[in-house]
Amino acid sequence: MALDHSMPVLIVDDYSTMLRIIRNLLKQIGFEDVDEASDGTQALSKMRDKRYGLVISDWNMEPMTGIELLREVRADDKLNRTPFIMVTAEAKTENVILAKKAGVNNYIVKPFNADTLKSKIQAVFGE
């Protein structure tokens, strides 16, 4: 799967400052079509209305967490192939394993910069 900078990207985080940071980092690496959701429930609704080329989601959110969102996406026949990157402040091995088992494509530990985000996205798309 080739990396297409024009593809729509959905970023999901309940912290508006983090949404702004990720949006700015995505813009720095060439992505312009970026939508936001403030929790997993809202993200799922948006994903059912629009096809996204990539989802970047925080883990810790209420009421639906990032891992719950990931499980819902992977269980949905229309959404299950959507590339999904999990973002978290926790680098615990068990969390990484849990996310991998749930079908995450990549994992980013906060804080991170544009270069890290770019390399994680490129890894997902095999660049």
Q: Per-residue pLDDT averaged across 56-79, rounded?
A: 96
Number of domains the chain is built from? 1
Residue 15 forms part of a structural domain: yes
Q: pLDDT category, 127, cuts 50, 70, 90? A: confident
The secondary element (H helix, E strand) that includes residue 27 is helix 16-28
Report the alpha-carbon distance of residue 84 to residue 37 in Å, rounded.
14
User: Residue 96 belongs to what domain range?
Assistant: 9-122
Q: Look at residue 9 and tell me whether its pLDDT is greater than 90.
A: yes
70 in Cβ contact with 102 (< 8 Å): yes
Residue 3 forms part of a structural domain: no
The length of the chain is 127
Q: pLDDT category, 2, cuts 50, 70, 90? A: low
**Average pLDDT in the chain:** 95
62 in Cβ contact with 40 (< 8 Å): no
Residue type for position 78? K
- pTM of the complete model: 0.96
Q: What is the CATH number of the domain that holds 54?
A: 3.40.50.2300
The residues near 49 (Cβ < 8 Å, ≥ 6 apart) are none
Residue 54 forms part of a structural domain: yes
Q: Per-residue pLDDT averaged across 54-82, rounded?
A: 96
Q: pLDDT category, 1, cuts 50, 70, 90? A: low
Residue 93 forms part of a structural domain: yes
Residue 116 forms part of a structural domain: yes
Radius of gyration of the chain (CA): 13
Kindly report, residue by residue over 91-123, the tens digit of the pLDDT: 888 999 999 999 999 999 999 999 999 999 999
